[in-house]
Structure 1
Amino acid sequence: MPRYRLLALDLDGTLLNENSEISPGNAEWVKRAQEAGVTVVLSTGRGFPSALPFAEQLGLDNPMIVVNGGEIWRKPHELHRRTLLDSDIVNRLHQLAQKHGDTWFWAYSTENIYNKERWVDDIGSRDWLKFGYYTEELPVLQAILDEIQTWGGLEISNSSPFNLEINPEGVSKATALEEVCRLIGCDMSEVATVGDSLNDIAAIRACGLGVAMGNAQEEVKAAADFVTASHLEDGVAFMIQEYVLKD
């Protein structure tokens, strides 16, 4: 029997290479994990439409965690739970973005993704899931973070050292995995998860086996049980082979 019943995989910087592709090696070992009876779950900051093609490529008919846990899908196209980000908060986040005019921003609603070049006039008319900022000017990013941290009621993470991702308080990949465990009848101690960024760190700490990619941010590596190879070196395949399926 496999050591772990559920394997949660981040996408960008983890399962995917620099071309946003799943390598043959990673695909092969994900397939082997499934054949061994492991439930493989995609757990990503991406929205459902962006994550779905990878689930389909891997032949996954399992739960999916998207927008950092803002949506949990029982299986592709069957929504289980959705947690919305209040439109008043989205308006404040948008105003903060405008205050730092050169900063890129984006936001996921339930039906689309909007950004600095394509925004909406009536924020209150949509159901929102997540807001994000991107800038390589780290003092600006820090100023935005400092401001948002004073508001309270939000989960703040990132998917790269140059961005911030904001979800409602209590929404994370960790809490979403707890719900997925309830859905399939397993314990968090039976979960292995792998990722590279701060939006993975709560899950890495909460699961039975928390794995950081070789290219992960240092804080993520420090929180993990072990560090695998990078996303350019089939790090997911290695951790499945060595830690999930090894006798």
Structure 2
Amino acid sequence: MPKYKLLALDMDGTLLNERSEISEENAEWIRRAREAGVTVSFSTGRGFVSALPYAEQLKLDSPMITVNGGEIWTKPHVLHKRTELSPIYVERLHKLAKSYPEVWFWAYTTLAIYNKERWFGAGESYDSHHWLKFGYYTEDDRARELILAEVQSWGALEISNSSPNNIELNPQGVSKASALRDLCDWMGIGMSEVVAAGDSLNDIAAIREAGLGVAMGNAQEAVKEAADVVTLTNDEHGVAELIKRYVL
């Protein structure tokens, strides 16, 4: 029996290549890990609807962590826990976004994704929705730094990113690491039996707390520094490599 019981995989920049595909090599080694008794779970900033087709492609009937830990599923369509983002903060984040016209923004609810081009209608309010996550994207470093400083000054949100050009906000205390702890409790295993792999700041807490934290070869430097090991890039089938070397 493998030493590790749970393999928690980030999706974009980790499991998926730069064309947002799962390579044949990654799919094959995930199949082998599952046959050896390892539970393979997505641990992603994506929402459930966006992650589901990839779970179906791999025939995974296992847990999923979505929206950076805002939702935990014991298997596809079976919700275990959901932590909502207060509409008060969504309103503040939205107003802040609108003060930077060049910055793209988006927000996940339990039912939809709103963004700069498509926000909710005039007859609705922030309280009309069940929010999960808010994000900003800009290649303007100065604008991103100012937004980050403002949000940090509130001291009320979990701040991460899924690329060097974005900022992602969840309720304070909600992360992929907190979701993995909940999942371990549900599975009856310890965090020492988890392998967590990723490439961005929203993966760091999980990588630090897991029994084995793995950074992708294409990961941000801070992620590599936090990891126990660094595998190949997402375009070099890094997930297949980490399963071969460290899981099986």
Aligned residue number for residue 31 of structure 1: 31
Q: What is the CA distance between 1:123 and its match in structure 2?
A: 1.8
**Equivalent residues in 2 for 1:4-19, closer than 5 Å:** 4-19=4-19
**Partner of residue 109, structure 2:** 109
SS of aligned partner of 1:18: coil
| 1:49 alignment counterpart | 49
**Cα distance in structure 2, aligned partners of 1:91 and 1:65:** 25
1:236 Cα offset (Å): 0.3
- Please list every run of 5 or more consecutive structure 1 residues that lacks an aligned counterpart in the other structure: none
| Residue 141 of structure 1 pairs with residue 144 of structure 2 | yes
Match of 2:211 in 1: 208
Would the aligned equivalents of 1:3 and 1:243 in 2 still touch at CA under 8 Å? no
| Count of equivalent residues | 245
After the TM superposition, list the runs of 4 or more consecutive aligned residues in structure 1 that deviate by more than 3 angstroms: none
Amino acid at match of 1:7: L
Give yes or no for the alignment of 1:153 onto 2:160.
no
Q: TM-score, normalised to structure 2's length? A: 0.98
Tell me the SS of whatever aligns to 1:148. helix
Partner of residue 170 from structure 1, selected from 168, 173, 178: 173
Read off the aligned partner of 1:210 and give its amino acid letter: G
Alignment-derived partner of residue 220 in structure 1: 223
Quote the Cα distance in structure 1 between the aligned partners of 2:230 and 2:108.
31
Query: C-alpha separation between the residues in 2 aligned to 1:19 and 1:230?
Result: 13
Q: SS at 2:235's partner residue?
A: coil
Question: What is the rounded CA distance, in whole Å, between the counterparts of 1:58 and 1:182 in structure 2?
Answer: 25
Residue 234 of structure 2: SS of its match in structure 1? Answer: coil
Q: Distance in 2 between matches of 1:62 and 1:24?
A: 20
Q: Hey, what does 1:186 align to over in structure 2?
A: 189
Partner amino acid, structure 1, of 2:31: K
Q: Could you tell me the percent identity over the aligned residues?
A: 66
Distance 1:75 1:226 in 2: 28
Question: TM-score, normalized by length of structure 1?
Answer: 0.98
- For the 8 Å contact 1:196–1:216, the answer to whether it is kept is yes
Q: CA RMSD in A?
A: 0.6
Spell out the pairing of 1:42-121 with structure 2 (5 A cutoff). Answer: 42-120=42-120, 121=122
**In structure 2, what is the Cα distance between the partners aligned to 1:3 and 1:102?**
48
SS in 1 for 2:80: strand
